A = this chain, B = another copy of it.
């Protein structure tokens, strides 16, 4: 099976209570993100939301998810610790995880990072310019040296995260801040990508480069399929000392 199975998890609360958000994302942010992914090839995309039973993240659902995308904001505390631990175990076991924007304060991101994940922020309808600092990285494939988002919420350094394995993007904000906007990690066997853009009042998830980055990140975070094993004529000796564990 060559398709990558993606589950887009959305908190799906702002859309129901804030008319401004509902106008931008009438079907919910998770469905807009999912629709963006479905524009490209090779992905099978479903969604899950906070208010579904088990937040839509049953053992069965996670078992058939290769990459989980996470958007949450105002209701981080309502995500049950049990589900967070379930997701964490799946990440450690190899499921990819893409954490978007305000998900920096989600329980799942914080337990995987170990630090406070604090940052500076400001809502001022300001311009964000996202620069590619690792142009050879698969997550930057198809992106020019930078792209712009006309209006976004500002996030600024110091972003209190462990030093990323790779920083793919750095954002410039009109008001004077910078931010490590695309950060790669491995935890256990799982690959994690934090991507900054996506405040609920802006149409960020319709932005073509934003869609492209998220799709790239899904492909990067998916465990590589194991092609047919090579057969060879080499026969190793028995091992000297059997290892426990």
Q: Could you say which of B176, B186, B237 contacts A163, with CB atoms under 8 Å apart?
A: B186
Contact of A172 among B116, B142, B178, B208 (CB under 8 A): B178
Seen from chain A, the residues whose Cβ lies within 8 Å of a Cβ on chain B are: 36, 39-42, 88, 92, 94, 111-116, 118-122, 127, 129, 131-138, 141-142, 145-150, 156-160, 162-163, 165-167, 170-173, 175-178, 180, 185-191, 203, 206-208, 211-212, 215-216, 219, 223-224, 226-234, 236-237, 239-241, 243-245
Q: Please report the C-alpha to C-alpha distance between residue A92 and residue B42 in the assembled complex, in whole angstroms.
A: 29
- Each complex incorporates copies of this chain amounting to 4
Q: Which residues of B contact A234 (CB under 8 A)?
A: 203, 206-208
Identify the closest chain B residue to A190 (Cβ): B136
Chain B: minimal CB distance from A67 (Å): 13
In the complex, chain B residues whose CB is within 8 Å of the CB of A187: 114-115, 162
Q: Which of B158, B160, B206, B228 contacts A41 (CB 8 A)?
A: B228
Q: In the bound complex, what is the Cα–Cα distance between A112 and B171 (angstroms)?
A: 27
Residue of B nearest to A188 (CB): B115
